[in-house]
Chains A and B, each alone.
Chain A
């Protein structure tokens, strides 16, 4: 049974394993690409897949804290940065696919797209907002900002994930089941946080134990 604490080298192994696991979606795309497995519209497939994994990694990142509270496995927190950065990694792939393979660096039409197409507006905004989060993910940045400011900045992930879901919702022609599912899961993860905050507000004050970004 996993304990609430892990030895340092156990965490290292876990992080290494997780790193490899997080690259599997990309590896799968590469394998499919080299085996004619991307279908008749490969660019569409890659765009959809990288977007889907961005949302998925965002949701996984957002489930770390509720899971940690539920299980008491504090070491989960040590994995969150990697998961968040992989969300950023996949959104970068998604964005590069759009500007390169889809639009061929046609900046004029891209600017028009971003301005005129709501689903692209929210998608592009979510991407932009994720950049400062990625940039401030290092230990040094945490120290520079201080715990409170860092935490406030990184709470932006709630907005980012919401914009991501909207982006997906608004690009689907009719079958909104998948965006709906992502939205429901996101709603659940945010609700869980809200409940926790309300409970904490009611509970008598206790000395915090090494709590940083909760």
Chain B
């Protein structure tokens, strides 16, 4: 696979370009890994955008991107994953996710919308300008990463499907195909994976429909080809490999809350003051760092999202 120089970048994107040149080594590793995965997974006639390691071009810099954080190396982002559909070990997804076929892929929009329809993922790639969004990601287990996602605010999709007044929540359903995903053969969780947001959470500018990371299409083990990312909530809320988005009236059932309602709630906002029943949430290990660090309320996005929960007892609505 050729390693091409990125397209010329406008001066307004200088910072992003600097990031890319510094990350060139990681990208190269990613491209090689991606090429290997692509070769393994690709059949004949799969569109360029689908092949692992494919660059996404004309990425915009976003003011909503988090600054001042060191990015987690691509190698860690792509080899340390919780994606139980491919196995419950951290290295299982990177080993097994090559089985995932990311084309053809469609996302069905259903429920309380004026314009229900099915989007092909290639349409979603062009729905709105793609932005780079660097976000912190905090896993409920107590580790965290900083990942340069690629996507756009989920609200861009929402406004195009015109939810009715009955749409109070959004539900995200992930693929659950035992033929492609060995973990789905085991009842570790109730498949398919389901997650959900309150409407105002879904419409928040920070919530993104995510189509890539590190300037390339999503690696399979990170939730290819399309996922949602909500940076102020625990990572399991950010559903991967989405096939259905439903606009609903009542709070949808979410997979981890079904698995263990005492431990995982619908909101699951990152909150150092509310412990998991079995372990503390006050500190976290940033992948790549030796010492643990204090966990930030709303994963450090409190300025932007705290108002969504004004007056809510977050100990009760965990």
Task: Show the binding face of A for B, using Cβ within 8 Å.
Answer: 39-41, 43-44, 101-102, 104, 109, 112-113, 116-119, 170-171, 173-175
Contact = CB atoms under 8 A, between A and B. Distances in A.
A117 B280 contact: yes
- Most B CB atoms within 10 A — which of A40, A44, A112, A171? A40
A210 B308 CA distance: 75
B260 interface: yes
B90 A171 contact: no
Contact of A43 (B76, B260, B285): B285
Nearest to A113: B280
- Most B CB atoms within 10 A — which of A41, A117, A173? A173
- Most A CB atoms within 10 A — which of B75, B259, B290, B292? B292
Given A39-B90, A39-B91, A109-B280, 18 more contacts: A39-B79, A39-B80, A40-B76, A40-B80, A40-B90, A40-B288, A41-B80, A41-B143, A41-B287, A44-B285, A104-B291, A109-B282, A117-B279, A117-B280, A119-B278, A173-B141, A174-B84, A174-B260
Contacts of A173: 141
B88 interface: yes
Contacts of B143: 41, 44
Contacts of B158: none
B305 interface: no
A119 B75 CA distance: 32
A75 B275 CA distance: 51
- Interface size bucket, B side? 20 to 34
A112 B279 CA distance: 11
B189 interface: yes
Contacts of A102: 292
Nearest to B142: A44
Nearest to A45: B90
B243 to A, nearest CB: 22
B1 interface: no
A118 B189 CA distance: 24
Given A41-B80, A41-B287, A104-B292, A175 B88 contact: yes
User: Nearest 3 CB-CB pairs, A to B?
Assistant: A40-B80, A40-B76, A175-B88
B128 interface: no
B188 interface: yes
Contacts of B285: 41, 43-44
Nearest to B183: A175
Contact of B88 (A44, A117, A174): A174
A118 B278 contact: yes
B188 A174 contact: yes
Contact of B259 (A112, A119, A174): A174
A170 B260 CA distance: 13
A174 B189 contact: yes
Interface in B5-62: none
A9 B126 CA distance: 76
Contacts of B291: 104
Given A41-B80, A104-B291, A173-B141, A117 B91 contact: no
7 contacts: A41-B80, A41-B90, A41-B285, A44-B285, A117-B280, A171-B279, A174-B88
Contacts of B292: 102, 104
